[in-house]
Structure 1
């Protein structure tokens, strides 16, 4: 039998639960059951599916505290952030129920070679989602709800350290009226996961994770001619331009760096500050970062919870140490504290330059990289000097100019002007370059794994 999946409380290092993993045969049988449920679901109307999604949203709100408690225990999220995450998930259900039927509505065309044309958006089958731990509910809901609206079946391989969250989501969905097996959680290892990608009833694969993991999954699926959607890592740059409101920038950048314990693909990570405001920004930014008190994620006064796993903290420290060896300067933090749990302090590195992990790579934890720019033009150049392109931000009092820079020059999938945000159901979510491809939310997700079928009528 495979080793069990184990969940551990990152605030204490103590084991929470053990969950038996499926064998390859058991996992493949689960895929077959999901496909059987899909065969019925695919024939339901858009309005019926929308009604079920509304019920899922209602159930998430009703069981918010129950799920939030599990999430915070498993990955160390601040309990308030866990509650907010579930509110976002419920909002995704509501938005998709409202907009999904419109996005998937049949379209009439006027082709040259037929009396009329019809474009219909049909489900393609079972979609396999491989998801990370940092948003145990949202990462799942983001792709699952869109695909359920499309009429597809959904498989989930969740990260081991939030296995309980994934299983509880399935329970909530089925209790709220989603057909059994239509949303299936696979507790499996990587070898069995490869077999699931190859399963003939799996028609698409979506992954949220590192660019290395994305490349491996895309290669596997590509050999089998299966479509993928990839939402990968990033080192999002936030520009503080010469005319920025420095108080707003410092406060918002600190919040953007520390949100979700600094463990978010779209966290603010690199802070590119023009000479004109650099010193003032650094003083206020440092104060805002240091004000976040690490501690128990269930304490409402805590400003920063523990990192989710010990190995992640060790990797972060290694990246910080290498950056310092290559010329980065410690402003605050940057050292693993004593005591139990996998805590890491709010940290800032200055004098960050190319060749350092703090410049080139993604630091997945509460460490900010500050880069000095000569002027606004130089700041934009530095922002785009990255293999990633998920999100970013611009602080400027000239809002119209900032919007032009965001639209025409920022080489990312998302840009925040004078604010920081994570996701909104009404806005497309996704990146470019090594941050992946495909879009979720904003009406895009329901068509990523839909068959846009052309019907010609003579």
Structure 2
């Protein structure tokens, strides 16, 4: 795939970029190593000041970078502005909280004595240069939620961004440079996927984090495993959205529309499978379909647009194949299911709801990365949980019920990294984020995220030997 800015609303190629050659990659790896040797010794106050400066610059740049993001991957401009603002919030949060999150931990005096020591503590130390392989769907947020904690922990960063968002990738490198970070602390590598293995195997790279597809995660994890390097993976999702009889059905349906179509439906944590109790199925379905039909599909630069284009022609084709397979095997298309006639150019697809979905259909097993929802009617909570867990993924989940026993049951039994009750999944810097099963492992954000790329070091002091008195 070429490294290029291609406007998904028009299909027009706006700019292409040359991949870095071996010599330039070598220079950047050495810069990252050299920068780490001094940056790791800085104090939290200094790191926090740098990160706050970066946050201030991003806040000032909000409109310009939002337009860049929308141009490169097609999300509505209002959502792009919100993404930039969320990054600013996370950067300031880590600037404020990192020192406390990484404070030394002290075992009890009794345990220290039992260990035979006089003093002991646990210290979180940085690992070194961390390679981040990041996706295009949240091209600012995905990077910042890695970079902010990694930099505050004292690591340096190497960003291999998706090939269709090179302008955003270069902006991020420049942002940290303008904030005053030492040379080599954060660098963008304009390279194709074929060059990732060589970078990851380089002994100067200490660890890696990837957000992306399951095949990409498997590839990075296998190389890192061979090199015995730490990885964090956030992969695909097919999140369930359970609606039970005691729920506020009107509110559940309203939020469901946003939960399915946020970011033009291209979100790992978007709700995708809507599992509805039979007693409220008809009411929820009517409201949900009406809400999906009411969405405005159009120019993502227009503030009134709800759903823009998919990020690529291939992405739309993949979505069309899933819908056509479902239709062929008996699914009912309640709305959408086609390209909008009003937008012949660009990679648009109508918000779509499929009912009568069965395990025979690919859409039952595979992630739908676009504005396509699947509906399931269930008899009770047991069946709802069974359907929800009938997936290889386990990123997050959503549950709508006022019944406290049902809430607790879902929190206990849903196989996911998150259970959001009476609301939609959303990431926040104070909350750990990640999945189970084929949605990956490790966590981003919160204290859990900042500690992922730390050397958890035990420091122990024994009784010093007696020193003879001076003559």
2:241 corresponds, among 215, 238, 241, to: 238
Measure how far apart 1:290 and its partner are: 0.6
Measure how far apart 1:402 and its partner are: 4.4
Measure how far apart 1:242 and its partner are: 1.8
CA contact (8 A) 2:237 2:269 kept: yes
1:21 aligns with 2:24: no
SS in 2 for 1:107: coil
Measure how far apart 1:326 and its partner are: 2.0
CA contact (8 A) 1:28 1:199 kept: no
Superposed CA deviations along residues 19-47 of structure 1, whole A, max 9, x for unmatched, are: 12101232122111111111111000122
Q: Which residue of 2 aligns with 1:179?
A: 182
CA distance in 1, matches of 2:278, 2:57: 51
Superposed CA deviations along residues 62-111 of structure 1, whole A, max 9, x for unmatched, are: 11111111000000011110010011101111111111101111222243
CA distance in 1, matches of 2:363, 2:409: 24
| RMSD of aligned Cα (Å) | 1.2
CA distance in 1, matches of 2:425, 2:195: 36
CA distance in 2, matches of 1:315, 1:219: 26
CA distance in 2, matches of 1:270, 1:328: 14
1:67 corresponds, among 45, 65, 68, to: 65
Q: Which residue of 2 aligns with 1:48?
A: 46
Superposed CA deviations along residues 197-241 of structure 1, whole A, max 9, x for unmatched, are: 111100101100111211111111100101110000010000011
Unaligned stretches of 5+ residues in structure 2 = 463-471
CA contact (8 A) 1:242 1:376 kept: no
CA distance in 1, matches of 2:392, 2:272: 14
SS in 2 for 1:305: coil
TM-score, with length taken from structure 1 = 0.97
CA contact (8 A) 1:306 1:344 kept: yes
SS in 1 for 2:206: strand
CA contact (8 A) 1:133 1:161 kept: yes
SS in 1 for 2:373: strand
2:79 corresponds, among 75, 78, 81, to: 81
CA distance in 2, matches of 1:4, 1:344: 24
Q: Which residue of 1 aligns with 2:346?
A: 341
1:432 corresponds, among 423, 429, 436, to: 436
CA distance in 1, matches of 2:221, 2:139: 23
Measure how far apart 1:374 and its partner are: 1.1
SS in 1 for 2:164: helix
Q: Which residue of 2 aligns with 1:38?
A: 36
Q: Which residue of 1 aligns with 2:154?
A: 151
CA distance in 2, matches of 1:192, 1:239: 42
Measure how far apart 1:176 and its partner are: 1.5
CA distance in 2, matches of 1:59, 1:355: 51
Measure how far apart 1:114 and its partner are: 1.1
TM-score, with length taken from structure 2 = 0.95
CA distance in 2, matches of 1:279, 1:194: 50
Unaligned stretches of 5+ residues in structure 1 = none
Q: Which residue of 2 aligns with 1:316?
A: 319
CA contact (8 A) 1:24 1:195 kept: no
Measure how far apart 1:4 and its partner are: 5.6
Paired positions, count: 455
1:137 corresponds, among 137, 140, 145, to: 140
CA contact (8 A) 1:392 1:416 kept: yes
SS in 2 for 1:108: coil
Measure how far apart 1:183 and its partner are: 0.5
1:411 aligns with 2:415: yes
Q: Which residue of 2 aligns with 1:422?
A: 426
Q: Which residue of 2 aligns with 1:223?
A: 226
Measure how far apart 1:416 and its partner are: 1.4
Identify the range of structure 1 (50-59 vs 159-168) with the bigger mean alpha-carbon deviation: 50-59
Where in structure 1 do 4 or more consecutive aligned residues deviate above 4 Å? none
CA distance in 2, matches of 1:405, 1:353: 25
